[in-house]
Amino acid sequence: MTVAMASAILPYLIALPVILPAAGAALCLLFSRHPKIGRVIAAITLLAVIVITTTMVFLTDLAGITTVQIGGWDAPVGITLVADRLSTLMLAVSSLVLTTVMWYAIGQGVRDGTTDQPIVVFLPAYLLLSMGVNMAFLSGDLFHLYVGFEVLLVASYVLLTIGASPARVRAGVSYVMVSMLSSLIFVIGLGLVYAAVGTMNMAQISVRMETVPEGTRTAIFAVLLVAFGIKAAVFPLYSWLPDSYPTAPALVTAVFAGLLTKVGVYSIIRVRSVVFTDGRLDTVLMWAALLTMLVGILGAMAQNDIKRLLSFTLVSHVGYMVMGVSLGSAAGLSGAIFYTVHHILVQTALFLVVGLIERQAGSSSLRRLGSLAYLSPVLAVLYLIPALNLGGIPPFSGFLGKIILLQAAAAHGGFFAWMLVIGAVVTSLLTLYTMTMVWQKAFWRDRKDAPDGQTAIAHGGLLTGSGKEISIEERKDVGTIPLGMVAPTAILVVASLSVTLLAGPISQVTGRSAESVQDVTNYRSAVLGPGYIAPGRTTDTTGLLSPDSKPDQRPDDRENRGDGDAAIPVKTDQPKHTVTETATTTETGAATTTVTQTEPAADRTDQPPVDKQPSPAGRNAAGTQEVESR
């Protein structure tokens, strides 16, 4: 496929990952009285999104950054969806996770039944969660990113508290309060950004932010980092996660662990690489990464429940991603992206395995489990492979991702970078210890040797669970593991292994993604247009005016746009300057505009700068303009 063909196809695909889940959610509500039809609609929708996003990965690798302007409003006025190598890669991986977890849910529902289960609520909320995640990945402006966050958070409120057990409601209240706080901080950050630069478009923010004083710029970035840090569960803003995730159904926890924190990490990558490129807070990010890794894994070592243990390892390994961002180099960012892809697949697979353990053994508590390797060898293999991968055993992708990050930190040099190297190695070893501890207690030892091995949780439903403690003899036999639950879990395990087998090509893709994200000039050109002139940063007005447009009548003029930086009349004793505009026609038929400005000899420092941007409407048929100005 040629670059031209890729560039022609991409604009028709970019909006579909957002539109299709929204339409699917509406159809599921429409057929709420027919759960089987709803399951078919959800499955077809997510399968279509997988095909589309996978295609977008290959097309963007050929064509580069491609944008779609919603409603025909050009950037920076309208909403811009931006598809580049990073966003499409994240879309493809998240679509795979969402589809396999949906298959897992359908498989369990078919086997165990869905009577009295809130399927009518689950399917639309799940598709809206997919919509919000995809919207956040494709967003080209900060406010639209905020909207994507809110859509996925509202859906997550429903999914977290589904079943309405006391533990879930209690955890849901905590989760909602923390999410509202992070959203409030995000809104405050948006207000500060708009007050400083008068726009929400990230490409235009990156241009105008260069003229903002360093202290103001750093303060704005710090506010946004706090908002994104809460969503990504970065130290010290992580404590909500281990208390919230373990109470939800296993399939819901799997999606949350695989995707929600990664949207926060993605936002940090995007804002740090496109808007705040000076790296003034990189040292803060280094300390946050180091403490996130160490505190998270130390918390995991103290847990007796596999769900809570994995929740703490989730926090810990977010530190690796922040580590790559904090280095500020293409190599570090490439390692962060590679490790994000690896972690999404591995962490989701592990939580699905925990769901299988709960169904078969009646608990996820290490005090009750044992003999699983003997009772279910398939389950043992499904746990062992992603567990070793997460622990960083060679040659798995976890080891390769850590090696990329360690090499980038060593190349960066400096005290903080070497502290990150030491912390990353220690965290990896401790992760391997915790995974081995789970294997020894849950799979290797005899259940009779477990302290509470004679008790279990009564078999519950797909989403509501039971919570009733009974003796292991009283628990009814749930039978073999349903193929509909094993198959999607195995697919994610195989997908994580494929990252290992295809580490070379994937690392090349992540490397190109990192370089593309850090190429701010290319990003601005793709979003704002190749002829865009940085507003307030040039006095060259060539190409700004046409015979039919006045300086104060440009479609993108600040005063008309209302972005807070229009020229303000200033009282002065000096005579006003005059503008004389003459339109002529050359021998070739091209229209030529000459603008002559007459001003006092004194320097007019009392006038604020006027935004200089090209006006597409002002170009003549020959595409040439001549403007004489001061």
pLDDT one-digit tens code per residue, 452-463: 777 777 655 556
Q: What is the pLDDT of residue 293?
A: 96
pLDDT in tens, 321-364: 999 999 999 999 999 999 999 999 999 999 999 989 988 887 88
Compute how many other C-beta atoms are within 10 angstroms of the C-beta atom of residue 412: 20
Q: What is the pLDDT of residue 393?
A: 92
Q: What is the pLDDT of residue 348?
A: 94
Helix (H, G, I), strand (E, B) or coil at 598: strand
Q: How confident is the model at residue 535 (pLDDT cuts 50, 70, 90)?
A: very low
Per-residue pLDDT at 57 exceeds 90: yes
Residue-wise burial string across 51-67, b where 16 or more C-beta atoms lie within 10 A, e elsewhere: ebbbbbbebbbebbbbb
Q: How confident is the model at residue 73 (pLDDT cuts 50, 70, 90)?
A: confident
Q: What CA–CA distance (Å, rounded) separates 333 from 326?
A: 8
Place of tokens 């295809």: 502
Place of tokens 């995707």: 259
* Cβ contact 364:494 at 8 Å: no
Helix (H, G, I), strand (E, B) or coil at 579: strand
Per-residue pLDDT at 271 exceeds 90: yes
Per-residue pLDDT at 193 exceeds 90: yes
Average pLDDT of the chain is 81
Place of tokens 């969806």: 81
Q: What is the pLDDT of residue 365?
A: 86
Q: What is the pLDDT of residue 461?
A: 56
Distances (CA, A) of 60 to 79, 84, 310: 20, 6, 34
Selected residue with higher pLDDT from 623 and 509:
509
Place of tokens 């930190």: 409
Q: Which of 123-132, 542-551, 611-620 has the highest mean pLDDT?
A: 123-132
pLDDT in tens, 201-225: 999 999 999 889 999 999 999 999 9
Q: What CA–CA distance (Å, rounded) separates 377 from 170?
A: 36
Selected residue with higher pLDDT from 624 and 108:
108
Q: What is the pLDDT of residue 608?
A: 44
Compute how many other C-beta atoms are within 10 angstroms of the C-beta atom of residue 467: 13
Q: What is the pLDDT of residue 113?
A: 55
Q: What is the pLDDT of residue 400?
A: 94
Q: What is the pLDDT of residue 508?
A: 93
Partnered with residue 365 across adjacent β-strands are 305
- Non-local (6+) Cβ contacts of 207 within 8 A are 524, 528, 534, 535, 537
Q: What is the pLDDT of residue 550?
A: 41
Q: What is the pLDDT of residue 191?
A: 95
Comparing CA positions, the residue from 63, 206, 82, 178 lying closest to residue 134 is 82
* Cβ contact 346:495 at 8 Å: no
Q: What CA–CA distance (Å, rounded) separates 509 from 488?
A: 26
Q: What is the pLDDT of residue 545?
A: 37
Selected residue with higher pLDDT from 454 and 255:
255
- Domain map (residue ranges) of the chain: 3-527, 537-630
Place of tokens 């704005």: 220
Q: How confident is the model at residue 541 (pLDDT cuts 50, 70, 90)?
A: very low
Q: What is the pLDDT of residue 472?
A: 67
Distances (CA, A) of 94 to 101, 497, 503: 11, 17, 18
Per-residue pLDDT at 398 exceeds 70: yes
Q: What CA–CA distance (Å, rounded) separates 498 from 50?
A: 17
* Cβ contact 402:431 at 8 Å: no
- Across 18-29, average pLDDT: 94
Phi, psi of 592 (to 5 degrees): -130, 135
Map 383-407 to HEC letters: HHHHHHHHHCCCCCHHHHHHHHHHH
Pick left, alpha or beta for residue 405 (phi over 0 → left; psi -120 to 50 → alpha; otherwise beta): alpha
Per-residue pLDDT at 569 exceeds 90: no
Per-residue pLDDT at 405 exceeds 90: yes
Partnered with residue 322 across adjacent β-strands are none
* Cβ contact 344:496 at 8 Å: no
Per-residue pLDDT at 553 exceeds 50: no
Q: What is the pLDDT of residue 529?
A: 79
Instruction: Take residue 609 and report the two structure tokens written for it.
Output: 């700068």
Q: How confident is the model at residue 582 (pLDDT cuts 50, 70, 90)?
A: very low
